[in-house]
């Protein structure tokens, strides 16, 4: 049996019918073609599937799609438009905080959630906020620096 | 004056990655796609008695079911010892014995559970030390008949798939002359690369039988070649596309899933078939790093000169060593580390076991042997009361020294790296006891590494000049995150004097982009970089010839500058690249030459085989990269926990084409090395992987990052582009031994096996107190 849900995705209201056992990640990737969120483990261990649900970072592989009913979801695709990147994305580019790019969308979304709730984090705050997002390439320091730099500039580019 | 080379240009792939736009293989959705799953062996070593797929075939939604019968050909990069699906017997837990393609992943999963397989268990081997015993069960009975590269020496009738020997000088005489002789043992466990992208492959077969494969693979051409052998196909009938790679570190250097999706697709009525591995599959069914046991016997003189060394490395190759045999070879030709030792006997032996398949992992044998070599050196230095850094300086390879194979070296930057790192870590300053329970220590480790590859493997590049003077650069070196797209673009920009933004790089499509052997071995900047440079020079020379005709000035009198060819003497005689891109238009309106396409090819010059009995040879590798790391750690003697406070690193990269990208490589390598030093170990019990997840197999997180101080040294490699050497793998090699040596410095205990867990540290502290 499918459930009817209604939610906001990247600013647009959507209605969908979903299987009760479908994860939010699968709905995003398979039904909405929003492939920025990645599956690295399918068990909430790597953070590559991080999206924001009502401004909170969520491992979308652990959340059921039906739970999105009435919620507001932001994915990496909703963070920038054709012209402007988010200041976090700009900062990742500036600091060379990207290598293979697979963890990047999840990492950026976790950073977004952190800066939403705490615009002036310390280095320790950043490390803690990103501890659930695994990256095997960069060694993290540049990612940490990129986030701190955004905070320092008050979110401005 | 260099304009683009040597500059920290921003990544050319950055915007696509930071917006989540990049399509990796698992992001591709093709119409009519079927989904595959594999049936895995539950036994480490067993005969297959019967496979019954009839129930699976009857399940609604199942389209294809296959077993090993459909792909009987053996394949392998250096040794053809594997089939894509098991035939007659299985050799590790998880080995695929059958595969299914169905309308959905769920149906495929259910179908797999309906496949019945009967096995007869065979005695198994779980350690190379068991595998070399004369009465050990044989894992590959037909080893003697397997095809292999000439540089690999399998021993028929044994479990030894390669044995690289070094016999240099007279080691017995050396030990007799030595004032002290010490022996030490070390062990390195299996670890997994843990790229965040799981492996995935899609195959589709068209009505003419042509196969297209999409896979996040490091080496599309090597994959194509392996598939051609497996399926008896001509190369032009197989197209391999690597859309993007979410981290590789060697795990995506071979061919695995591709060989399973193709036979499914061949029976799927032209529909594409996708196989996505789960994280657990990645731990059990893709490459893992080989385990290794080392014994090192060292003979030294009173004044601290090593005069004899006998090294034995036993590699835990796992069930198939088609790729792993070359790791043993690399361990052999580098067997003493970066030191000048006149008398050496070394044996590097690759042994089959019933573990998952060992393969290349960043640093390819070097991380493993250097853990042993660099701790051994420390132990020996302490035994004779010499400072470990000083001891290394005394024995280090320098200009004019001979390596373990007898290769005489020039432009060796090891001493400069040592000087820089000891300065950055403040080697002479020690604050050992910071509280009642916290002890600090500093440790150092050197390394060297060469690209481990066949002597004669090639690279190529194509440069197309467009009508408006912009450029398309085609190569098949893959950017796995290391930044090669950016670096190769910089190289083309430098030669063509065209801005980075006016060059588009395309990679990874065997029907479109030119040959590249593999993206491995830290060879891309050097090998592919040389081919890009030559392709750009070829295009430039074509345009110089046309400009020479146009102006009636000899080519020597012209130069390419800021996108135009200009006379060195008459600055008004100039023509833009755009105006020559399609050939030269003559005054009468006719045209000559046609579009400018530059072609570049490269094979490392003069690399030759070594002697099979002695391992001696004057140029067994293209170049050596040298580097040093030092660590400062803090050990909690109550919990045994080790915290890495700081790592200083220095590498001689020859020429930093993009200094920032090199720093990002080194930082990433340090943190990966730190993971292997402190937490990472695949727990394997009787062939079963007990921790195939990131909960049970911990890799470093943002909280584990130490302070990092990085230095780049530049002694040019004469055959590299502008002198560049490879760097991506050397970054992680010395981290683990530097940390191990720092732990000893802090608490006086040696941990001879990785990882250096709190449990091992506590045990060592207790034993020391006794």
CATH number at residue A12: 3.10.20.30
All residues of chain A having their beta carbon less than 8 Å from the beta carbon of residue B16 are: 101
Rounded-to-integer distance, Cα B441 and Cα B433, Å: 9
**Same domain, yes or no: A38 and A70:** yes
**Same domain, yes or no: A71 and A128:** no
pLDDT (tens digit per residue) in B590-624:
999 999 999 999 999 999 999 999 999 999 999 99
Domain enclosing residue A53, as ranges: 3-78
User: Distance of CA B269 to CAs B33, B108, B292, Å?
Assistant: 11, 17, 46
User: Coil, strand or helix: which one is B327?
Assistant: helix
B197 and A40 within 8 Å at the Cβ level: the answer is: yes
Residue A124 lies in a domain: yes
Residue A157 lies in a domain: no
pLDDT (tens digit per residue) in B217-235:
999 999 999 999 999 999 9
All residues of chain B having their beta carbon less than 8 Å from the beta carbon of residue A23 are: none
In angstroms, the separation between the Cα of residue A48 and the nearest Cα of chain B is 8
Mean pLDDT of B51-56: 98
Is-contact B671 B705, C-beta < 8 A? yes
Rounded-to-integer distance, Cα B457 and Cα B602, Å: 9
pLDDT (tens digit per residue) in B123-152:
999 999 999 999 999 999 999 999 999 999
Q: What is the pLDDT of residue A157?
A: 62
Is-contact B68 B83, C-beta < 8 A? yes
B18 and A127 within 8 Å at the Cβ level: the answer is: no
Q: What is the pLDDT of residue A154?
A: 82
Residue A16 lies in a domain: yes
Residue B103's closest CA among B271, B284, B234? B271
Mean pLDDT of B151-180: 97
Q: Please give the share of chain A, as a percent, with pLDDT higher than 90.
A: 94
Q: Which domains does chain B have, with CATH numbers?
A: 18-122+199-276 (3.90.1170.50), 288-404+412-453+608-769 (3.30.365.10), 456-602 (3.30.365.10)
Is-contact B233 B503, C-beta < 8 A? no
All residues of chain B having their beta carbon less than 8 Å from the beta carbon of residue A99 are: 247, 481-483, 664, 668
Residue B78 has pLDDT above 80, yes or no: yes
Q: Which residues contact B462 (CB under 8 A, 6 or more apart)?
A: B473, B474, B475, B513, B514, B535, B597, B598, B599, B600
- Residue B54 φ then ψ, to 5°: -60, -40
DSSP states of B685-700: ETTEES--STTTS---
**Same domain, yes or no: A103 and A131:** yes
Point out the residue among B29, B246, B703 whose CB comes nearest to the CB of A102: B246
Q: What is the pLDDT of residue B769?
A: 87
Residue B433 has pLDDT above 70, yes or no: yes
The interaxial angle of helices A141-152 and A87-94, nearest 10 deg, is 130
Q: Please give the share of chain B, as a percent, with pLDDT higher than 70.
A: 100
Is-contact B478 B507, C-beta < 8 A? yes
pLDDT (tens digit per residue) in B508-532:
999 999 999 999 999 999 999 999 9
A vs B, Cβ pairs < 8 A, gives 159
**Confidence class for position A146, pLDDT limits 50, 70, 90:** very high
Record the tokens describing residue B68, joined without a space. 């090993």
Residue A48 lies in a domain: yes
Point out the residue among B19, B197, B661 whose CB comes nearest to the CB of A80: B19
Q: CA torsion sign, B538 to B539 to B545 to B551?
A: negative
Q: Whole-model pTM?
A: 0.98
**Confidence class for position B426, pLDDT limits 50, 70, 90:** very high
**Same domain, yes or no: A34 and A9:** yes
**Same domain, yes or no: A104 and A69:** no
B481: left (phi over 0), alpha (psi -120 to 50) or beta: left
Residues of chain B numbered 69-128 and touching chain A (CB < 8 Å)? none
Mean pLDDT of B662-675: 98
pLDDT (tens digit per residue) in B485-505:
999 999 999 999 999 999 999
A101 and B18 within 8 Å at the Cβ level: the answer is: yes
In angstroms, the separation between the Cα of residue B363 and the nearest Cα of chain A is 14
SS3 for B350-414 is EEECCCCCEECCCCCCHHHHHHHHHHHHHHHHHHCCCCHHHHHHHHECCCCCECCCCCECCCCCH
**Confidence class for position B770, pLDDT limits 50, 70, 90:** confident
B279 and A41 within 8 Å at the Cβ level: the answer is: yes
Parallel, antiparallel, or unpaired for β B200-205 and B273-276?
antiparallel
Residue B68 has pLDDT above 80, yes or no: yes
A45 and B694 within 8 Å at the Cβ level: the answer is: yes
**Same domain, yes or no: A108 and A72:** no
Residue A17 lies in a domain: yes
In angstroms, the separation between the Cα of residue B698 and the nearest Cα of chain A is 10
All residues of chain B having their beta carbon less than 8 Å from the beta carbon of residue A46 are: 196, 279, 694
All residues of chain B having their beta carbon less than 8 Å from the beta carbon of residue A126 are: 702
Nearest-by-CA chain A residue for B196:
A40
pLDDT (tens digit per residue) in B320-379:
999 999 999 999 999 999 999 999 999 999 999 999 999 999 999 999 999 999 999 999
In a mutational test of the B interface, the residue from A30, A80, A81, A99 whose CB has the highest number of chain B CBs within 10 Å is A99
Q: What is the pLDDT of residue A155?
A: 63
Residue A127 lies in a domain: yes
**Same domain, yes or no: A7 and A72:** yes
Domain finish residue from A78, A98, A128: A78
**Same domain, yes or no: A134 and A110:** yes
Residue B275, chain A, CB below 8 Å: the answer is no
In a mutational test of the A interface, the residue from B702, B706, B731, B735 whose CB has the highest number of chain A CBs within 10 Å is B702
Q: What is the pLDDT of residue A9?
A: 98
In a mutational test of the B interface, the residue from A78, A90, A102 whose CB has the highest number of chain B CBs within 10 Å is A102
A142: domain CATH number is: 1.10.150.120
Parallel, antiparallel, or unpaired for β B642-652 and B707-713?
parallel
Residue B658 has pLDDT above 80, yes or no: yes
Domain finish residue from A47, A78, A109: A78
Other Cβ atoms closer than 10 A to B273 = 31
Q: What is the pLDDT of residue B277?
A: 98
Parallel, antiparallel, or unpaired for β B46-52 and A50-53?
unpaired
Residues of chain B numbered 359-388 and touching chain A (CB < 8 Å)? none
Residue A52 lies in a domain: yes
User: How would you list the strands of the sheet with A12-18, edge to edge?
Assistant: A12-18, A3-9, A72-74, A50-53, A56-59
The count of domains in chain A is 2
Residue B90 has pLDDT above 70, yes or no: yes
Rounded-to-integer distance, Cα B534 and Cα B603, Å: 12
Is-contact A64 A54, C-beta < 8 A? no
Looking at every residue in chain B, the average pLDDT score rounds to 97
**Same domain, yes or no: A119 and A73:** no
Residue A112 lies in a domain: yes
User: Coil, strand or helix: which one is B105?
Assistant: helix
**Same domain, yes or no: A18 and A58:** yes
Q: What is the pLDDT of residue A156?
A: 63
B18 and A137 within 8 Å at the Cβ level: the answer is: no
State which H helix or E strand residue A107 sits in: helix A104-117
A93 and B18 within 8 Å at the Cβ level: the answer is: yes
For residue B344, how many C-alpha atoms fall within 13 Å in the half-sphere facing its CB?
28
**Same domain, yes or no: A10 and A56:** yes
**Confidence class for position B425, pLDDT limits 50, 70, 90:** very high
Q: What is the pLDDT of residue A49?
A: 98
To the nearest 10°, report the CA torsion of B320, B323, B328, B333: 170
**Same domain, yes or no: A28 and A69:** yes
Residue B742's closest CA among B675, B642, B666? B642
Q: What is the pLDDT of residue B432?
A: 86
Domain finish residue from A78, A103, A122: A78
- ipTM of predicted assembly, 2 dp: 0.98
User: Distance of CA B156 to CAs A119, B62, B160, B449, B747, Å?
Assistant: 66, 42, 8, 30, 47
Q: Could you tell me where the beta strands, DSSP code E, fall in chain A?
A: 3-9, 12-18, 50-53, 56-59, 72-74
């Amino acid at each position: 049996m499918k459930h009817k849900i209604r939610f906001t995705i990247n600013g647009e209201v959507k209605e969908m019918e979903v299987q009760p056992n479908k994860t939010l990640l699968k709905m995003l990737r398979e039904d909405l073609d929003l492939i920025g969120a990645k599956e690295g483990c399918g068990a909430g261990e790597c953070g590559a599937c991080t999206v924001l649900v009502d401004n909170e970072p969520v491992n979308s592989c652990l959340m059921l799609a039906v739970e999105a009913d009435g919620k507001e979801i932001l994915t990496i695709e909703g963070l920038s438009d054709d012209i402007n990147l988010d200041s976090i994305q700009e900062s990742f580019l500036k600091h060379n905080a990207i290598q293979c790019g697979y963890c990047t969308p999840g990492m950026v979304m976790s950073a977004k959630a952190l800066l939403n709730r705490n615009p002036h984090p310390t280095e320790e705050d950043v490390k803690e906020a990103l501890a659930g997002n695994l990256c095997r390439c960069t060694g993290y320091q540049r990612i940490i620096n990129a986030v701190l730099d955004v905070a320092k500039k008050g979110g401005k580019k | 004056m260099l304009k683009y080379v040597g500059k920290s240009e921003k990544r050319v792939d950055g915007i696509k990655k930071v917006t989540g736009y990049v399509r990796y293989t698992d992001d591709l959705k093709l119409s009519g796609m079927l989904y595959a799953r594999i049936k895995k062996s539950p036994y480490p070593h067993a005969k297959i008695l019967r496979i019954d797929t009839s129930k699976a075939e009857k399940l609604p939604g199942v389209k294809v079911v296959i077993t090993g019968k459909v792909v009987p050909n053996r394949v392998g990069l250096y040794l053809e010892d594997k089939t894509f699906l098991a035939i007659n017997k299985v050799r590790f837990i998880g080995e695929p014995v059958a595969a299914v393609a169905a309308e959905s992943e769920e149906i495929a999963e259910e179908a797999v559970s309906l496949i019945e397989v009967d096995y007869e268990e065979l005695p198994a081997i779980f350690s190379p030390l068991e595998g070399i015993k004369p009465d050990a069960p044989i894992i590959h009975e037909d080893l003697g008949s397997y095809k292999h590269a000439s540089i690999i020496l399998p021993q028929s009738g044994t479990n030894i798939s390669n044995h690289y020997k070094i016999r240099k000088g007279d080691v017995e005489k050396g030990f007799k002359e030595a004032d002290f002789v010490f022996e030490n043992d070390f062990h390195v466990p299996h670890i997994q690369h843990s790229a965040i992208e799981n492996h995935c492959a899609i195959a589709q077969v068209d009505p003419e039988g042509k196969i297209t494969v999409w896979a996040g693979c490091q080496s599309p051409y090597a994959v194509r070649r392996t598939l051609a052998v497996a399926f008896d196909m001509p190369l032009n009938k197989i197209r391999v596309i690597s859309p993007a790679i979410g981290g590789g570190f060697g795990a995506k250097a071979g061919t695995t899933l591709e060989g399973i999706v193709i036979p499914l697709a061949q029976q799927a009525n032209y529909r594409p078939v996708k196989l996505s591995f789960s994280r657990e599959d990645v731990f059990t069914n893709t490459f893992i790093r080989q385990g290794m046991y080392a014994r090192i016997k060292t003979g030294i003189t009173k004044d601290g000169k090593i005069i004899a060394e006998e090294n034995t490395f036993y590699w835990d190759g796992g069930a198939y060593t088609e790729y792993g045999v070359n790791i043993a070879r690399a361990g052999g030709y580098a067997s003493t580390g970066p030191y000048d030792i006149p008398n050496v006997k070394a044996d590097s032996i690759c042994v089959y076991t019933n573990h998952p398949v060992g393969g290349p992992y960043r640093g390819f044998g070097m991380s493993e042997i250097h853990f042993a070599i660099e701790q051994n050196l420390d132990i020996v230095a302490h035994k004779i009361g010499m400072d470990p850094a000083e001891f290394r300086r005394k024995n280090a390879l320098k200009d004019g020294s001979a390596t373990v194979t007898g290769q005489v070296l020039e432009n060796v930057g090891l001493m400069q790296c040592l000087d820089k790192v000891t300065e950055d870590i403040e080697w002479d300053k020690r604050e050992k006891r910071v509280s009642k329970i916290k002890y600090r220590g500093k440790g150092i480790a050197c390394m060297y590494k060469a690209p481990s590859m066949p002597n004669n493997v090639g690279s190529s590049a194509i440069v197309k000049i467009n009508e408006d003077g912009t450029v398309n650069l085609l190569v098949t070196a893959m950017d796995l995150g290391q930044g090669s797209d950016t670096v190769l673009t910089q190289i083309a920009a430098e030669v063509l004097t065209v801005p980075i933004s006016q060059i588009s790089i395309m990679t990874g499509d065997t029907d479109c982009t030119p040959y590249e052997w593999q993206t491995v071995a830290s060879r891309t900047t050097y090998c592919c970089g040389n081919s890009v440079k030559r392709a750009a020079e070829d295009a430039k020379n074509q345009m110089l010839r046309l400009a020479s005709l146009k102006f009636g000035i000899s080519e020597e009198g012209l130069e390419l500058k800021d996108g135009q060819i200009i006379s060195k003497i008459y600055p008004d005689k100039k023509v833009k690249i755009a105006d020559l891109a399609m050939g030269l238009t003559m005054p009468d309106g006719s045209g000559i030459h046609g579009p400018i396409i530059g072609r570049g090819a490269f094979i490392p010059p003069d690399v030759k085989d070594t002697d099979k009995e002695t391992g001696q040879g004057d140029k067994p590798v293209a170049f050596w990269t040298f580097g040093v790391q030092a660590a400062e750690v803090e050990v909690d003697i109550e919990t045994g926990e080790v915290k890495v406070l700081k790592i200083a690193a220095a590498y001689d990269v020859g020429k930093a084409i993009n200094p920032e990208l090199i720093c990002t490589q080194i930082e990433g390598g340090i943190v990966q090395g730190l993971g292997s030093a402190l937490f990472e170990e695949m727990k394997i019990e009787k062939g079963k992987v007990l921790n195939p997840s990131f909960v049970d197999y911990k890799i470093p997180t943002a909280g584990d990052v130490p302070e990092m101080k990085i230095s780049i040294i530049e002694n040019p490699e004469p055959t590299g582009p502008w002198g560049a050497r490879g760097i991506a793998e050397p970054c992680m090699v010395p981290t683990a031994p530097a940390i191990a040596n720092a732990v000893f410095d802090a608490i006086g205990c040696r941990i001879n096996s990785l990882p250096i867990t709190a449990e091992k540290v506590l045990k060592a502290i207790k034993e020391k107190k006794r």
